[in-house]
């Protein structure tokens, strides 16, 4: 690890010059995911409690923390967790709690597969990934770590967390997380939000994405914005948003609001 301190937006971050993922991108450009960042900023409120799943090294946590009541940042990979904690300390964030575990479809012990791109770690087993995604992922494969796992419902119950915003970028585990978090999302208040990066290019079982979308809709959440790295996608111009999100090749970030 070779750390460099750099100003990113209105905060500072320790970035690893040897990382081939998010650190490299931020060191080169000083920014990432412009459309998602803009949308996140618009929905944050001072009364919010944010559950940030796959908090990684803290990019979104440091955007959320100055605005909201509290951020619960969950990051299972040891390398990422240590850098996340350092970045929280660097910015003197007093309203962030960190947890080194994964959120999954079950509570217990499990594995997370790590990458030389630190933001590509995943709990999705290789057998459940698409062939194309596996080929791209394997170029940066590093190994795995044993981690403590919780369902979303078990985690929020254990720590008495009532989120107003759940943001997740979890490299294909979003299907399992929603499946194990139905009580949590059903009990979220009106005008609360889910922000889910849907890894349709990773998840082999496309029907499982459809079931996840059905469950969010049944809990009262409607899609109101879809973005990717290059653009904001006009939801109102998509004939069938459900099929679009299931079969689109890529990783769109989808914004849901409870109505």
| Residue 37 belongs to domain spanning | 3-258
Q: Distance of alpha carbon 132 from its chain centroid, rounded?
A: 21
Q: How confident is the model at residue 200 (pLDDT cuts 50, 70, 90)?
A: confident
- Greatest distance between any 2 Cα atoms in the chain: 48
**Residue among 184, 196, 180 at smallest CA distance from 40:** 196
> What's the pLDDT tens digit per position in 4-24?
999 999 999 999 999 999 999
Q: What is the DSSP string of 55-104?
A: -TTSHHHHHHTTTSSEEEEE---HHHHHHHHHHHHHTT-SSEEEE--EEE
Task: CATH number of the domain at 184, please.
Answer: 3.40.50.150
Give the total number of structural domains in the chain: 1
> What's the pLDDT tens digit per position in 55-64?
999 999 999 9
> What's the pLDDT tens digit per position in 158-192?
999 999 999 999 988 999 999 999 999 999 999 99
Whole-angstrom Cα distance, residue 38 to residue 28?
A: 20
pTM listed for this prediction? 0.95
pLDDT over threshold 70, residue 249? no
């Amino acid at each position: 690890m070779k750390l460099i301190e750099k100003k990113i937006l209105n905060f500072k971050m320790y970035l690893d010059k040897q990382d081939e993922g998010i650190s490299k991108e931020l060191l080169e450009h000083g920014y990432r995911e412009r459309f998602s960042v803009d949308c996140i900023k618009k929905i944050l409120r001072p009364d919010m409690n944010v559950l940030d799943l796959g908090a990684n090294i803290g990019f979104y946590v440091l955007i959320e923390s100055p605005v909201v009541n509290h951020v619960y940042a969950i990051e299972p990979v040891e390398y990422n967790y240590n850098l996340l904690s350092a970045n929280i300390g660097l910015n003197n964030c007093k309203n962030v709690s960190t947890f080194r575990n994964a959120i999954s479809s079950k509570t217990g012990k499990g594995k997370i597969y790590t990458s030389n791109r630190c933001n590509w770690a995943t709990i999705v087993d290789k057998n459940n990934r698409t062939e194309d995604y596996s080929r791209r992922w394997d170029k940066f494969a590093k190994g795995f770590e044993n981690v403590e796992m919780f369902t979303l419902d078990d985690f929020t119950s254990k720590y008495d967390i009532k989120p107003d915003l759940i943001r997740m970028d979890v490299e294909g585990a979003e299907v399992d997380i929603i499946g194990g978090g139905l009580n949590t999302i059903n009990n979220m208040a009106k005008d609360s939000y889910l922000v889910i990066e849907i890894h349709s290019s990773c998840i082999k079982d496309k029907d499982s994405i459809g079931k996840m979308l059905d469950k969010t809709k049944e809990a009262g959440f409607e899609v109101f914005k879809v973005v990717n790295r290059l653009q904001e996608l006009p939801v109102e111009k998509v004939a069938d948003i459900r099929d679009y999100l299931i079969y689109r090749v890529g990783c769109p970030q989808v914004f849901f609001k409870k109505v």
